[in-house]
Amino acid sequence: MEDRLKNLKKAMDQRAFTQLNFTEKHRRNILGKIKQQAENDEDILLAVMQLLVHEKTGFELTKLLRGRGILKFEDNEGFLYTLLHRLEQSGSIQSSWTETEAKYYQLTDKGRRVLRKAEKRQIKRQVVWKELFER
């Protein structure tokens, strides 16, 4: 960390956060929520990639995600397009424009390989969940 950021942190610890205390319970709760959010994002990414096995527009993708109960994009469709852009930059999906100026997205070969790996991890996670909690 740069010196100026360290100094800022030190100043904030001395002034702004002097009365702020986190119990171990608070820390576990926060870490659990962070982990839960990451898992939700991973599930959303998996759903997007599964749906893009066949070519779709962003609008079609949003409707299908809604059908799967994923509502994260309802009030923030820009988040979906940011995700699609990142997937395109990584080479996992490709896009093309039609004559009617609709943009379609579809998995590339790299995206298919990533999807297979992610689905295997998902299956393993489900097996572990059943082993731990459904006896």
Kind of pairing between the strands at 93-97 and 103-107: antiparallel
Q: What is the pLDDT of residue 55?
A: 96
Per-residue pLDDT of the chain (135 residues; tens, 9 = 90+): 577 777 877 777 777 766 777 788 887 887 777 666 545 778 888 999 999 999 999 999 999 988 888 878 777 778 889 999 999 999 999 999 999 999 999 999 999 999 999 888 887 776 666 666 654
b (16+ CB within 10 A) / e for 36-49: eeeeeeeebbbbbb
Write b or e for each residue in 100-118: b if 16 or more Cβ atoms lie within 10 A of its Cβ, otherwise e.
Answer: eeeebbebbeebeebbeeb
Whole-number Å distance between alpha carbons of 93 and 112: 9
Q: What is the pLDDT of residue 122?
A: 80
39 within some domain: yes
114 occurs within a structural domain:
yes
Q: What is the H or E stretch that residue 96 is in?
A: strand 93-97
> Domain for residue 5, yes or no?
no
CA distance 93 to 79: 16
pLDDT of residue 86: 92
2 in a domain, yes or no?
Answer: no
6 lies in some domain? no
Determine the Cα–Cα distance for residues 88 and 108; give it in Å rounded to an integer.
9
Q: Which are the contacts of 13, defined by CB distance < 8 A and separation ≥ 6?
A: none
Does the pTM surpass 0.85? The reply is no
Query: What is the CATH number for 84?
Result: 1.10.10.10
Three-state DSSP class for residue 134: coil
**Does some domain include residue 18?**
no
**Which domain range does residue 54 map to?**
24-133
Number of domains in the chain: 1
| Structure confidence at residue 67 (pLDDT) | 87
Which pLDDT does position 37 carry in this prediction? 59
> What pLDDT shows up at residue 36?
60
